[in-house]
Structure 1
């Protein structure tokens, strides 16, 4: 059975948190690193894994921290079985994603970030049913006595120098429905990110879009190379977006895909080559045209 809740313990605070609501917690960045088993007398540390972390398409979940064991009378106790050690990244293939694939990922990202309470309730109920029907598996540990098991890592990217030769399917991209879900494991990898726009800066050679959520910030940088193959008027479109934002006509959100970096404890995104980004669910030219039509 999967773990659906954990105990948040920090200083003099003890609070139960649930998988469905943890990301909306006002102290989420602290909560996620201070989780423990809720069973009385069990001190096993618990890890929160957001949707898309780990196995591809994996749902958000709690799991027992690596090398942590529950007490034998704990309801979440399990036995571990050994597996062969894999050769991490023994072979890495960078796969350039097509614009069609990127568009689909961004549409799904926007839809998930804006689902209604009814849609969310149905999704969670479906997940609970699937969880209750799933057989409990033994957790695996590394068996250092065996030879390594070779592996191939497909690294999704929007950069053009990658090679897609002989691939039947493009690799999936991990989604971050909130900038607060970005973490060190995302650094140097391509991620799909959604967030509320706080500021847009248009320079001669780049555009910087700042996302903000509860005093957490992320700069999405459209580099000079981004505009080489972009439509000729794309920079004017971003100037129009900047004006709309500054007039406070409506709240703007950005759904985009790029490589993650970290500068002074802030996670940022770089867009090297031109790909569509979504503003309130629409590609930039469509959004600008829609606003112009509404203004008459």
Structure 2
């Protein structure tokens, strides 16, 4: 098995929304905001090469939305999904398995593209099976008012229409060394991939712990639908991670890909930060 960090660009979100009840006087030291209170965040995905399988976990926000949309989220940087795949010798056509932790636009927007004349939406990974939690699929396709703006039908419905949609759960075994933990604080049925890699266990944090700055238990995003559930889930996974020497992989940290953990008098905290490719 080989693992590759896939950078699809950066975008901006309101710092207050990203840190919830944590005051700006504290969080701005962790991720400084611009004059509009917006902080830059990564759109970092993970590619697993296992024999003849090439599995991508999440795919960023894509580029098919209009200028008004990108005016809200400020997609920036030189990285794209295609460039990052190409850097490792792959293309979108090589992807055999597309795993979606959940269906918020910044995690699944690259799933679907327009055709050449922008008249039809079609899967970006035409040879891949797409995987999603069935409970979350129902949640996303019948969205509540709070999350509706994050579930864009053009990112989601064409997956099912293509016939490429498959459902997974915590007991699914897509490849050896890959398992899942279901969490429900951020959104219903989000799936966290847990990967056994060489002598390491890598936990893909998705939006449970979007960045290293979110490791402390109270640092919970304002976007979460059940913040008290997130607190419990974070505490459980962080304790398990530190006890079993897991590596955390962050989808949204603007600069840190991975960390190891340690227990301190303040709770579980970052021990060391490093790039995925040193493992």
Indicate the TM-score class for this superposition, using the shorter chain for normalisation. Answer: under 0.3
